[in-house]
A and B are shown apart, each in its own frame.
Chain A
Amino acid sequence: MGRVAVINGIRTPFCKIGTDLKDLAAQELGRIVTRELLERTVIDPSTIDEVIFGNVSQPADAANISRVIALLSGIPQTVPAYTVHRNCASGIESVVQAAIKIQAGQGRCYVAGGTESMSNIPFYLTKELKEILTNLSKAKTFLQKWQALSQIRMTHLKPHSGLEMGLTDPVCGLIMGSTAEVLAREFDITRQQQDDFALESHQRAIRGRTALREEIVPVIAPPRYKSAMEHDNGPREGQTKEALQKLKPYFDRHSGTVTVGNSSQVTDGAAVLLVASEQRAKELNLKPLGFIRAYVFVGVEPHRMGIGPAHAIPQVLKKAGMHLRDIQAIEINEAFAAQVLACLKALASDGFTKQFGYEGYTGTIDPAILNVNGGAIALGHPVGTTGTRLILTMLKHMQRHNLNTGLVSLCVGGGQGAAVILER
């Protein structure tokens, strides 16, 4: 059976919540990258077998957002589309779905991506207010309307943030940052280590700006169409250690170590890949960026969700029949510095290796090959998009430096881990 090729990919710049991309809905972000992918590959849109997008917040006005994106970007109506949701790994899930379908002979050419507009996640009404409003709409006479309205109390008017609800695990009850605190304590990750890691992320992202431009389509955003956003606006050029150290812990005010400075940023952005069987790529005369060698998803405890990569990485290596030393570059999504550092510590420890039977598939990861162009702490983490972005960034990095193997991994809210091995 032939390999699964990633032909090309593109993403929007990643822009912090409430900034340059805030007036673009998730479907519009997805439309921009998908259209640009079609333009750059000059592929006949009817050769596409299906469109798969990952998206976490799933806007109410774009049910099955993948289909909306497909139609908005000029993919024929006859091409089906579906949306996937695996929380933070949604953007990997979509690509893996394409790979599985290709391997199963279901199709030969897919558009797979991720999109997220965290700026547009709505506030929710309280349940009480919703019921009152429902009664109001049913009320016929003035008196009934008045009765319905008179039920409203100040407390009913407090909106719930959809963003906050989305980032809170409904089973263990912890918000994501608190799960990072759990790992920081467990693996004894200090504030200092986390801040150092965060600073490095910013510095690498600034240095990598030119490299990252290769994967970005500049976006001229409505409503003012003032100028083109050409790069990510998360990385801070003048980021100092002192500034990071000054920040108060956000999730555990008193004894915590996780701050907004050493956590990923809340961000808008979309990314997309053209995925095809090796054979189909040849037929269409398309030169692949690289191939998907193996992928895996694992489950972990929800309150320790950040440890996901420490399980996913050895498992995907095992699946691919490879060892950590065979991997030339690694991307681990920086949901939180504490969580990445915890994973690195776990992977380097014999105890962890033995406990889960990962002998031969763990080891120390060289910081020099990890997240070379910075990670989500600097670039931002549009949850549904990040998975696709990691694969895209890795493949472009491998191409630039002529590397043969790369691995991307991320932790997943709800207690999962995902990892993919890429090769050229």
Chain B
Amino acid sequence: MSINYYEENNIGFIEFNQDDSKVNILTVQALQELTLIVARLHKAAALKAVVFISKKSDVFIAGADIKEIEGINDPSNGEAKSKAGQEIFNAIEDLKPPTIAVIDGVALGGGCELALACQYRLATFNPKARIGLPEVTLGILPGFGGTYRLPRLIGLPEGLKMILGGKPVDTPKALRLGLVDRLVTSNGLERHLNEFIDDVCNKKIPVDKYSRRTIKGLAVFQEKSFIGQRIVFQRATQDVLKTTKGFYPAPLKALHVIRQNFYMNDRAKGLALESQAFGQLATTAISKNLIRVFYLAEKYRKLGVPDTEGLVSKAMTKCGIVGAGVMGGGIAQLFSYMDIWVRLKDIHYDALALGLKSAAKLYRDAVKRRRLKAHEAIVKMGKIASTIDYTGFRNTDIVIEAVVEDMDIKRKVFRELNSCVNEQTILATNTSALSVSELAKITKDPSKVIGLHFFNPVHKMPLVEVITTPQTSKETLASVLALVKRLGKTPILVKDSCGFLVNRILLGYLNEAGRIWEEGADIATIDKIMTDFGMPMGPLTLCDEIGLDIGIKVLRILADGLGERFKPVAIFEKAYTEGFLGKKSGKGFYLLDRRSLVKTKQSNLLNTTECLQRMVYPMINEAARCLEERIVDDPGAVDVGMIFGTGFPAFRGGLLRYADSLGISHIVAGLRQLQDKWRAARFAPANYLIKLHNEQRGFYS
């Protein structure tokens, strides 16, 4: 039983309260229960009003059952599922008494669509409440009437924005949009609801839900005139193409559907279009991949340590950061943003000034984008205090070392930290490649040492590699994982080994891109191959962004630790010595006169497929080695790492999901072919890959 129906004072209450769950989900079973209740209401004597309400705290209805969507294998099956939901919601919309959805928590996807089917929506100030249609982020579109009802309710421009962007809104915004009719406090909700029902019955709120909003000025043109609507559609199409680069079909499909059903006066026809499109999208590989990534992200976001029940993770109120460079400054900003006090240390004030400047810039941008109020930015920025000695480190809960990638300097810092923190302080290093165990050795208490590898730019990249050594204690790990979660990042657990996971996979790829360039290919062409594949930027653009000095440094560390295959290509070394470091030196791949460094061999026309294979297959190969060496113990960690750490296209499901979709045999064969052609050992398939090939398995199966 997940839905209760009862009547009170001639008001019907449909109360969602799913068994054994913290949230309400519109499962098939729930929809069936709802059908029966609504059918009964249609026959029942006249009620004053019908109220849809949730008994869960902070949740109205979280959406449809993603498992069920994942299970859709046939477009007609998907279409039928969508139709079934639409019919129930139509029945709700057609109820005689006024229908009211009471939203005191998240109302997403199907939950939002249910609220849209109601005649009135009453929401609360609950800060956890979110209303929206995030379907497109899973590669599908709203299938329970959302594309038909939302643009009619809140107007075409805003309706498109919510459906195509998939971003939910908070309740004050929902009120401004006209998505809800009234905002009340959660406290005394019952009284507020009664008042609202009285107002509804006394016709104080207009009956027709699609004409309740008053619009003025430009909005009238955009919403009411055909030309205005054309412009809105056009702009939305451009926006969608810009953000999805054409890789994600769902927003385009949704746009296509809305473009037609917005002008239909026949609900049945409009909804038929929607369910048809839903069926088509739900069976696409992209949707399946996005759903898998969604599950993966959920899993890793909540990552905990096994067997640590009852273990209290350390409260984190103050953090020491050593090194105010790009990473240190970024980490300082992130911590202060999350209201953790920061003591930022560097060896001279100019370095600190740069760190503070970059943090201040992020805060200024946040204010400009209205993500923060001006006073909030001042308060948060004020949480960073800078120093050139270790004063104030004694009472830190965690110290993050983010100095240059040089073992000797890192050792020195850890030796210094020994005497200026307390016994409980966790010591973390933000190294991207060096050994954490090595650093742990020189500390008083290696159980408190851990690797915490953030990605650049820190405020944007959602991944954190958490690197444990055999000595790292469970308490330390649990505390750090809780911290990462609080920082809003997704952790993956990585064993302490040269280059950890993401850099190890990524740098071979960058090096290979360099090699292709060295052979005479055009920089823009190389980059385009990868952006066409779905990477957010090409490998050489990425080199410019992170700086070739860093790239070379890490490659050298990897070559030392893992072998020849990571030896920086000669052309990188040459560009590096000549100071072509990328953005930071003002000249890099995109600003340099390539001809002075390499001769273009016009005869060697680029074979796009081969280039793609040369860049992507070694990544798969390296990931296989990582799994073999148990750097991570799950292919999911590789995929999460690549998607959230490097922007590997989510629609491909992640690196290893992509490998599986190609087939391991295909990759092994491809690698061998490359090995033969280029006489290069770096393409030799890893043992683990050959093993999978022999066993006829994929990474996931």
Contact = CB atoms under 8 A, between A and B. Distances in A.
Whether A and B are associated in the same complex: the answer reads yes
B378 to A, nearest CB: 7
A228 B352 contact: yes
A342 to B, nearest CB: 42
Interface stretch (A186-194, A219-227, A357-365): A219-227
A44 B422 CA distance: 14
Given A227-B353, A228-B352, A220 B395 contact: no
Interface string A28-44: 10011001101110101
Contact of A220 (B341, B356, B379): B356
Contacts of B352: 220, 228
Contacts of B395: 42, 44
A73 B392 CA distance: 13
A274 to B, nearest CB: 14
Contact of A230 (B349, B360, B394): B349
B379 A218 contact: no
A223 B349 CA distance: 16
Nearest to A223: B360
A220 B359 CA distance: 13
B382 interface: yes
A225 B359 CA distance: 10
Contacts of B354: 225
Given A220-B352, A220-B356, A28 B382 contact: yes
A39 B343 contact: yes
A72 interface: yes
Contacts of A218: 349
Nearest to B386: A220
A18 interface: no
Interface string B429-450: 0000000000000000000000
Contacts of A73: 382
Interface residues of B, number: 21
Nearest to B387: A39
A74 interface: yes
A230 B383 CA distance: 21
Contacts of B391: 39-40, 42
Contacts of B353: 220, 225-228
Given A40-B391, A42-B394, A74-B341, A224 B357 contact: yes
Interface in B198-217: none
A300 to B, nearest CB: 40
Interface string B336-374: 000001010000011011101100100000000000000
Nearest to B381: A222
Contacts of B394: 42
A227 B343 contact: no
A35 B392 CA distance: 10
B382 A72 contact: yes
B349 A225 contact: no
B385 interface: yes
A220 B349 contact: yes
Contacts of A38: 392
Interface in A41-74: 42, 44, 72-74
Contacts of B349: 218, 220, 227-228, 230
A40 B392 contact: yes
Interface in B387-434: 387, 391-392, 394-395
Contact of A31 (B343, B356, B382, B386): B382
A375 B552 CA distance: 54
B464 to A, nearest CB: 25
Q: Which of A73, A220, A222, A230 has the most CB of B within 10 A?
A: A220
Nearest to B357: A225
A39 B392 contact: yes
Contacts of B386: 220
B6 to A, nearest CB: 44
B144 to A, nearest CB: 46
Contacts of B360: 222-223, 225
Interface in B77-117: none
A44 B394 CA distance: 11
A220 B351 CA distance: 11
B340 to A, nearest CB: 11
A225 B356 contact: yes
A154 B510 CA distance: 67
A225 B341 CA distance: 19
Nearest to A44: B395
A220 B349 CA distance: 8
Contacts of A32: 385
A225 B357 CA distance: 5
A231 to B, nearest CB: 12
B286 to A, nearest CB: 44
Contacts of A39: 343, 385, 387, 391-392
Nearest to B375: A61
Nearest to A43: B395
Nearest to A220: B353
Contacts of A220: 349, 352-353, 356, 386
A58 B389 CA distance: 34
A228 B352 CA distance: 9
Nearest to A226: B353
A99 B157 CA distance: 64
Contacts of A28: 378, 382
Given A40-B391, A42-B392, A222-B360, A227 B350 contact: yes
A40 B349 CA distance: 17
Interface in A351-386: none
A359 B341 CA distance: 55
Contacts of A74: 341, 383
A40 B394 CA distance: 10
Contacts of A228: 349-350, 352-353
Contacts of A225: 353-354, 356-357, 360
A35 B378 CA distance: 14
Interface string A198-229: 00000000000000000000101011111110
A222 B367 CA distance: 16
Nearest to B361: A225
Contacts of B356: 220, 225
A220 B357 CA distance: 9
A36 B391 CA distance: 9
B489 to A, nearest CB: 24
Interface in A2-49: 28, 31-32, 35-36, 38-40, 42, 44
A225 to B, nearest CB: 4
A74 B395 CA distance: 13
Nearest to A74: B341
A40 B392 CA distance: 6
A32 B356 CA distance: 14
Nearest to B348: A228
A48 to B, nearest CB: 14
Contact of A36 (B379, B383, B385): B385
A61 to B, nearest CB: 9
A230 B348 CA distance: 12
A72 B383 CA distance: 8
Contacts of B357: 224-226
Contacts of B343: 39
A35 B385 contact: yes
A220 B382 CA distance: 12
19 contacts: A28-B382, A31-B382, A36-B385, A39-B343, A39-B392, A42-B391, A42-B395, A74-B383, A220-B349, A220-B356, A220-B386, A223-B360, A225-B353, A225-B360, A226-B353, A226-B357, A227-B353, A228-B350, A228-B352
Q: Which 4 A-B pairs have the closest CB atoms?
A: A39-B392, A228-B349, A225-B357, A42-B394
Given A42-B391, A225-B353, 16 more contacts: A28-B378, A28-B382, A31-B382, A32-B385, A36-B385, A39-B385, A40-B391, A42-B395, A74-B341, A218-B349, A220-B352, A223-B360, A225-B356, A227-B349, A228-B350, A228-B352
Interface of B: 341, 343, 349-350, 352-354, 356-357, 360, 378-379, 382-383, 385-387, 391-392, 394-395
Interface of A: 28, 31-32, 35-36, 38-40, 42, 44, 72-74, 218, 220, 222-228, 230
